[in-house]
A and B are shown apart, each in its own frame.
Chain A
Amino acid sequence: MRNLRLIPRLDVKQNWLIKGVQMEGWRKVGDPAEVARRYAAQGADELVFMDVVASLYERNNLHEIVEQVASSVFIPLTVGGGIRTPEDVGQLLARGADKVALNTAATRDPKLITEISDQFGAQATVVSIEAIRNGAGRWQAMTDNGRNHTGRDAVEWAREVEACGAGELLVTSIDCDGLGKGYEIDLIRRITDVVAIPVVASGGVGSAAHLTDLIDRTEASAAAIAQALHWKKLTIGDLRAVLAGAGCFVRPLPEGVADGSVEARS
């Protein structure tokens, strides 16, 4: 039975959950910890937190939010943005993160991936690939929310980070991000074709049909969802129903969750 994880992605700027379109034009959504608890209670399989202004400050600023969420929500948490050293990783794991997502620092020095993977395990080492279309069937890996070019081909980069010890990839299509017009299926397929580690597809889901498309046409191991949930176009329940309809495993939730009468522990 196919098993696909549903992962709400929470982009955070200075204690606000925000969401943009193509990684620009950010709008405030709400309190990240509160929204995280709501998604967890509704049946999210994991959560991803991204500090979208980390590069500005050269550090990840989500420590308090991570601790707040990790002490009340008992599902895996991935944290990304501004992670430069193994010490940064140790600090985030100490606050309750389960995995970290690396991008900028890894593109500057891929050995960092190996160092982190050796020290904390491949399961804690996610590489975030922000891909922008660069001609037909080609994508370039970007950093800083799609602002800076790395000069690396996204598919080649995926292959390289796997060899360096990454345990998972979070692949975001910048072209599709925030538009709600569907995942960039070609990109996800190209990357799952060249790596044997799990790939989380990110960017573009706006309807139940888009998730069906991802399930039917790619080998993605997980689907990240942001604006469709944040702007309440879809609920986790809607997405769970898609999984059930597609013959995927859907984990049971405590009684009462479906009607919203059970809130997360606080």
Chain B
Amino acid sequence: MSSKCAVVDYGSGNVFSVMHALRSLGIEADLSRDPEHIVTADRVLLPGVGAFGRASQQLRSSGLDEAIGTFIETGRPFLGICVGMQLLMEEGYEFGTHPGMGIIPGTVDKIDIADDDGRRLRVPLIGWHALAPPPGQDAGIFRGTPLEGVRDGDAYYFVHSFAVRPANPSAVLATVTHAGQQVPAAIRKGNVIGVQFHPERSGEAGLALLDRFLKL
């Protein structure tokens, strides 16, 4: 293997399924909490599950937020998954107000969506959903990202109670629709991609997406 993929180890519960998924793609990633290691990797993956505040605190107390910031400045590919995506934002409101890394301007807000009959959607929102390009865009927007090659209707596994709200709508790379409302499913800023769903838990479609990330 010529290129080094680091998976940031900051105490998130889902690193193991991420590592299993990468291994099935033939990649022995480095599960690392060493800032030096992360800064010099060829690509970095930030997993995440659970509550935003706790994850943010773990990331900051280990100093890994700075290492991630430095890595991102190199322009090399970065992928944040679920809470790992939400941490890219400036601020999250899960159990209080907590700072994110502020790499993408915007917030992480509680999902509160009602259907046509006025019934609130059950949260966490759990399930497989198809991605769509944001309004006014076509699949061309996916070009050069891990989403390139996503087929119409390809579904990915989501589980979340909070969703990102980028200040600049052009940061939204893909959406899913819940009760007629579009919720960001993937965001982008240059070399930084965040996905709300779990590619490591999204079957073949998810593995294909991770494989494309490894080849960026």
Report A's interface with B, CB cutoff 8 A.
3, 5, 40, 45, 70-72, 74-76, 90, 93-96, 98, 118-124, 167-168, 196-199, 219, 221-222, 249, 251-254, 265
A72 to B21, alpha carbons, bound, how many Å?
8
Residue B169 at the A interface, CB < 8 A?
A: no
| Chain A residues near B54 (CB-CB < 8 A) | 118
From B71-79, B126-134, B182-190, give the one contacting chain A. Answer: B126-134
Query: With A96-B16, A120-B13, A123-B160 in contact, is A251–B124 under 8 Å at CB?
Result: no
Query: With A123-B160, A252-B155 in contact, is A5–B127 under 8 Å at CB?
Result: yes
Residue B154 at the A interface, CB < 8 A?
A: yes
| Chain A residues near B206 (CB-CB < 8 A) | 74
CB–CB B13/A93 < 8 A:
yes
| Chain A residues near B205 (CB-CB < 8 A) | 254
Q: Is the interface of A mostly helix, strand, loop or mixed?
A: loop
CB–CB A123/B124 < 8 A:
yes
Which residues of chain B from 119 to 161 have any CB-CB distance to chain A below 8 Å in the complex?
Answer: 119-120, 122-124, 126-130, 151, 153-155, 157, 159-161
A228 to B50, alpha carbons, bound, how many Å?
34
Count of A-B contacts with CB under 8 A? 109
Residue B204 at the A interface, CB < 8 A?
A: yes
7 pairs across A/B with beta carbons < 8 Å? A3-B129, A45-B127, A119-B50, A124-B49, A221-B127, A251-B130, A253-B203
CB–CB A168/B20 < 8 A:
no
CB–CB A254/B204 < 8 A:
yes
CB–CB B20/A70 < 8 A:
yes
Residue B17 at the A interface, CB < 8 A?
A: yes
Distance (whole angstroms) from the CB of B32 to the closest CB of chain A: 17
| Chain B residues near A5 (CB-CB < 8 A) | 126-128
CB < 8 Å: which of B20, B51, B130, B161 contacts A96?
A: B20
| Chain B residues near A199 (CB-CB < 8 A) | 122
A94 to B49, alpha carbons, bound, how many Å?
13
CB < 8 Å: which of B129, B202, B204 contacts A249?
A: B129
A168 to B160, alpha carbons, bound, how many Å?
12
CB–CB B13/A74 < 8 A:
no
A197 to B124, alpha carbons, bound, how many Å?
7
A76 to B128, alpha carbons, bound, how many Å?
11
Query: With A76-B201, A251-B130, A252-B151 in contact, is A196–B16 under 8 Å at CB?
Result: no
A254 to B204, alpha carbons, bound, how many Å?
7
Contact with A along B184-216 (1 / 0, CB 8 A): 000000000000001011111111000000000
A219 to B121, alpha carbons, bound, how many Å?
10
**Closest B-chain residue to A93, C-beta based?**
B13
CB < 8 Å: which of A76, A121, A122 contacts B13?
A: A121
**Closest A-chain residue to B119, C-beta based?**
A219
CB–CB B128/A74 < 8 A:
no
Query: With A93-B13, A121-B50 in contact, is A40–B123 under 8 Å at CB?
Result: no
CB–CB B126/A74 < 8 A:
no
Distance (whole angstroms) from the CB of A126 to the closest CB of chain B: 10
Query: With A121-B13, A122-B161, A249-B130 in contact, is A71–B123 under 8 Å at CB?
Result: no
Q: Which of A45, A96, A121 counts the most chain B CB atoms within 10 A?
A: A121
